[in-house]
């Protein structure tokens, strides 16, 4: 019997794996790169080395009936082709985005803010999670908590609440003061960590374009909307541009909105795409990968009740991640659902088959949820003509 250096890697799959497959796909160097990146910026579940987590996931798949060797190779290919974004890279993304925006839009060097220069921007967050604080600290911006400069309207839900407060006589004047400060800014910036399917960002953009139109309708100078996005996909860019094109005419599109992104992932990063650059032997491996993803979704994801709402919103079984993004993207904080579930899915104890991916995520939304309240608020705003009239009065300084 041939001995192996690590007995727990002596399973039938590891013992029979073709060294030419490993060499052709550069799997060893890719795993080594992942280990180096994780050593500088550990994943939140990264107490074990990444290869031990990969082995554990492969071992779990082997234990499930009907598993095929070709599918295990496809899984290994996915695990080794993770695009890992360490914290230092994302911090640099915020700095670079502000420098680019400042030089192109404001025509001044971003470092000028260190001397106390006022920033004519209001910052919104896509899915508010504290991005603004990080952005201000990294770019040494002054006065984040100064209400005379930056009102506390972090996202489109809070903005909707402010508009609706105009309809309440008891809250009207306070809301008008907030809106006067907000509309005094020449730019509204949407801070986005990752826009992968583009669904959430497109919704926020549509709402801000509605709010922007209120200014135009009452003769007030409308702010320009800028998107500052750390990670943007080609699919998300198309979705954002579709929303902008629907809301704006061709003459004002450039003056109304700009998109700045630090990391751009085109279709070559979609591992299910025929044009993916992450797989060398596409003609052989892509069919196996697709079969594996479809089997995985049917066997492990579909029976999981907690992911029912996500599947419905994705309009598929999450075979290739949320809205079929097909990504292998991971950052130090979490693995997005837009990445392949092979990376982030973890079975519950009641599951017929146990599986834990190498980058298990912490879910922000699971199970049955009521519809997003923000959408309902903006529907009310759209159907209440008094909101625009009262906004006009607030911006003109007239008591609403």
pTM for the predicted model, two decimal places? 0.90
CB 236 within 8 A of CB 203: no
Q: Which long-range contacts (CB under 8 A, 24 or more apart) does 111-115 make?
A: 111/140, 113/139, 113/140, 113/141, 113/142, 114/140, 114/142
Instruction: Give the whole-angstrom CA distance, residue 358 versus residue 79.
Output: 8
The tokens describing 76, both together, are 């290994």
CB distance 388 to 364 below 8 Å:
no
Torsion of CA 336, 338, 344, 346, to 10 degrees: 110
Per-residue pLDDT of the chain (400 residues; tens, 9 = 90+): 344 445 565 677 888 888 899 999 999 999 999 999 999 999 986 578 899 999 999 999 999 999 999 999 999 999 999 999 999 999 999 999 999 999 998 876 655 544 445 678 999 999 878 899 999 999 988 766 566 666 788 999 999 999 999 999 999 999 999 999 999 999 999 999 999 999 999 999 999 999 999 888 888 889 999 999 999 999 999 999 999 999 987 667 678 999 999 999 999 999 989 999 999 999 999 999 999 999 999 999 999 998 999 999 999 999 999 999 999 999 999 999 999 999 999 998 888 999 999 999 987 666 555 556 788 999 999 888 788 889 888 888 765 6
What separation, in Å, do the N-terminal and C-terminal C-alpha atoms of the chain show?
A: 87
Distances (CA, A) of 385 to 70, 85, 283: 61, 45, 57
Q: Is 191 helix (H, G, I), strand (E, B) or coil?
A: strand
Question: Per-residue DSSP letters for 200-254?
Answer: HHHHHHHHHHHHHHHHHHTTPPPPEEEEEEEEEEHHHHHHHHHHHHHHS-TTTHH
**Tokens 């009452």 map to which residue?**
218
Q: How far is CA 375 from the centre of its chain?
A: 19
């Amino acid at each position: 019997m041939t001995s192996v250096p690590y007995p727990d890697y002596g399973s039938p799959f590891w013992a029979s794996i073709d060294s030419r497959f490993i060499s052709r796909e550069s799997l060893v160097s890719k795993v080594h790169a992942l280990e180096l990146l994780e050593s500088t910026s550990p994943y939140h579940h990264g107490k074990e080395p990444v290869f031990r987590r990969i082995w554990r996931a492969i071992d779990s798949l082997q234990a499930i009936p009907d598993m095929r060797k070709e599918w295990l190779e496809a899984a290994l290919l996915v695990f080794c082709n993770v695009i890992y974004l360490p914290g230092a890279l994302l911090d640099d993304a915020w700095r670079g985005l502000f420098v680019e925006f400042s030089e192109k839009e404001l025509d001044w060097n971003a470092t000028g803010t260190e001397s106390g220069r006022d920033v004519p921007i209001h910052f919104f967050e896509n899915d508010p999670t504290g991005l603004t604080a990080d952005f201000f600290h990294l770019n040494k911006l002054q006065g984040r908590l100064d209400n005379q400069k930056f009102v506390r309207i972090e996202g489109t839900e809070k903005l909707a609440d402010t508009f609706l407060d105009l309809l309440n006589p008891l809250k009207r004047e306070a809301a008008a003061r907030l809106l006067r400060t907000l509309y005094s800014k020449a730019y509204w910036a949407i801070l986005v960590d990752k826009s992968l399917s583009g669904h959430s960002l497109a919704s926020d953009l549509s709402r801000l374009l509605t709010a922007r139109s209120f200014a135009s309708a009452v003769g007030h100078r409308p702010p320009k909307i800028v998107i500052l996005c750390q990670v943007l996909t080609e699919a998300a860019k198309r979705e954002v541009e579709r929303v902008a094109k629907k809301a704006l005419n061709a003459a004002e599109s450039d003056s109304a909105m700009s998109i700045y992104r630090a990391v751009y992932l085109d279709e070559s990063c979609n591992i299910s795409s025929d044009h993916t650059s992450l797989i060398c032997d596409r003609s052989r491996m892509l069919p196996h990968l697709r079969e594996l993803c479809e089997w995985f979704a049917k066997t492990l994801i579909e029976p999981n009740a907690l992911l029912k709402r996500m599947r419905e919103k994705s309009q598929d079984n999450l075979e290739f991640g949320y809205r079929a993004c097909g990504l292998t993207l991971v950052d130090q904080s979490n693995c997005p659902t837009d990445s392949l579930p092979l990376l982030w899915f973890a079975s519950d104890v009641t599951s017929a088959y146990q599986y834990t991916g190498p980058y298990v995520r912490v879910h922000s939304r699971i199970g049955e949820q009521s519809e997003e309240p923000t959408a309902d608020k903006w529907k009310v705003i759209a159907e209440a003509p008094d909101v625009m009239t009262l906004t006009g009065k607030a911006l003109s300084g007239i008591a609403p």
